[in-house]
Amino acid sequence: MNRQQENNCIAYFKSNPVWDRVFRGFWEKYRSYGSFSGKVVLQKITAEEVEGLEGFFAKSFHGKKSVTVSAERFSQALLSSRFSNMTPEHLLELYFREKLVGKKEERQLEEQKKDRFLQHWKEKYQGTPVEKVLSELLDVIKAGHIKNLNEWEQSLMLGAEIYNCFPFRKNETKYLAVFATEITGNPHAFDQKGSWGTFLYQVIQMELRQRKVFPQKSEIFPAFFRQRCFLAEGILIDDISNYVMLSHVKAQKKDGDLHMGMEGFWQEDDMVQIPLAVLSKWNSIFCKDNEMYIVENPSVFAGLCAGHTKQVSCMCMNGQPRLAGLVTLDLLAASGTVVYYAGDLDPEGLLIAQKISEYYAGEFHYWHMTVEDYEKSKSNETISEKRIKSLERITDTELFPVAEKMRLDRLAGYQEKIEIK
């Protein structure tokens, strides 16, 4: 059959909408069975569609509400028509302008493409860290239920670039947006809510298993586990507000050298704000007399630093602890530092203090958190019933007296009203 005859054939079947329904049905049958077979059931056919069927099959379908067209009947009718040189399979391909491939054959072709792509991938990443973890990376991609071949290839390439370029490999730390830009050109590519953000986290967990690195998973501060995993790869996922304030503290970096900036601030008797990016490079912390005095409020911290007649090591956590604060506590515990903590004397302040006490792995003492301190710190702010009820979560017996007094007085206390020194 020449091109003109093919065009005439397609024009004929395009002239009545019933054939679009018939051909779509047989297309799906072929996709499932790999051959032109099966039956297509046409429900609620119109008068126009009945006319098209009767003209082709030379049979009356008058009064029918549904018609079943079998592959065998259609093939016979096509063979008896003026389009007898056209096979049903070729007709479908011309009609839809697409190669007809069964799902089984399609899977075989896709596997062949995957094999060729994997060979290219192995050549590209030969001698790099990711070369040794190909099977693990494929498992991560498989777990993501990726079915599209292009997306599978993209995931494999992206996973390799991520794995090879983790900042820790060069003893560096980078903010997530910077890392995303370097890998993909898009600073938001690895945002937590996006699919690639999830993929990055999965690759991170895979890499940590390879190194047998298991970041601390705290029941007290469970929300920080994800940040710790990223930090172990040299990636900072929080912004620059993730910091602690320190005074009279020395630090040793992971390369063994002292941090000269901290040396200078000690000598100048100045306080300094340390972001997580800097803390992540430290190996240990040294405090005056091996003691650290921690307060919650920045203004109290400033007064404490300026008001002491002798040098003491001080730290400000500024409310709810961020990862920077927990990392600092980890370094303090590793150095055997004794911690003294003073927080606001309201329900939230007591709960924060209790959490820090539970978290800290070294010697810990509450500081200026007695009933006497509460009396000095009381304001005129009434504590709501909801906040009072949260005191039921206080389980540390050392805090029971002040918690009970707070429950009775129902007034919030603040560090600023106490002369902390």
pLDDT for the residue 240:
60
**295 pLDDT band (50/70/90 cuts)?**
very high
**306 pLDDT band (50/70/90 cuts)?**
confident
pLDDT for the residue 421:
65
The whole-angstrom distance between residue 116's C-alpha and the CA centroid of its chain comes to 31
Rounded-to-integer distance, Cα 219 and Cα 202, Å: 21
8 Å CB contact between 410 and 382? yes
**Pairing between β-strand 378-382 and β-strand 411-413 as defined by DSSP bridges:** antiparallel
Percent of the chain with pLDDT over 70: 98
Burial zone of 243 (CB within 10 Å; 0-12 exposed, 13-18 middle, 19+ buried):
buried
State how far the alpha carbon of 343 is from the alpha carbons of 106, 210, 298, in Å: 65, 41, 11
Run of H or E residues at 303: helix 298-307
pLDDT tens-digit map of 84-129: 999 999 999 999 999 888 788 878 888 889 999 999 999 999 999 9
8 Å CB contact between 175 and 236? yes
Which structural domains are found in the chain, ordered by start? 3-100 (no CATH), 104-235 (no CATH), 243-417 (3.40.1360.10)
- Give me Rg for the CA atoms of the chain: 36
8 Å CB contact between 273 and 247? no
Rounded-to-integer distance, Cα 16 and Cα 126, Å: 58
DSSP 390: G
pLDDT for the residue 31:
87
**Confidence check: pLDDT of 309 > 60:** no
- Other CB atoms closer than 10 Å to residue 16's CB: what's the count? 18
Percent of the chain with pLDDT over 90: 77
pLDDT tens-digit map of 242-279: 899 999 999 999 999 999 999 999 999 899 999 998 99
The pTM is what?
0.72
Rounded-to-integer distance, Cα 184 and Cα 161, Å: 9
Rounded-to-integer distance, Cα 335 and Cα 255, Å: 17
pLDDT for the residue 124:
97
8 Å CB contact between 183 and 172? no
Mean pLDDT of all residues in 54-73:
91
pLDDT for the residue 225:
93
Mean pLDDT of all residues in 36-52:
92
The whole-angstrom distance between residue 201's C-alpha and the CA centroid of its chain comes to 5
Which pair of structure tokens corresponds to residue 330?
């980890």
**339 pLDDT band (50/70/90 cuts)?**
very high
pLDDT tens-digit map of 159-181: 999 999 999 999 999 999 999 99
Q: Which residue has the tokens 């192995």?
A: 122
**144 pLDDT band (50/70/90 cuts)?**
confident
**Confidence check: pLDDT of 241 > 80:** no
**Confidence check: pLDDT of 195 > 90:** no
**Confidence check: pLDDT of 420 > 90:** no
pLDDT for the residue 401:
97
DSSP line for 32-83: HHSSS-SEEEEES--HHHHHHHHHHHTS--TT-SEEEEEHHHHHHHHHHSTT
Mean pLDDT of all residues in 7-19:
94
Rounded-to-integer distance, Cα 171 and Cα 155, Å: 26
**Pairing between β-strand 314-316 and β-strand 249-253 as defined by DSSP bridges:** unpaired
Return the SS3 of 382. Answer: strand
pLDDT for the residue 51:
92
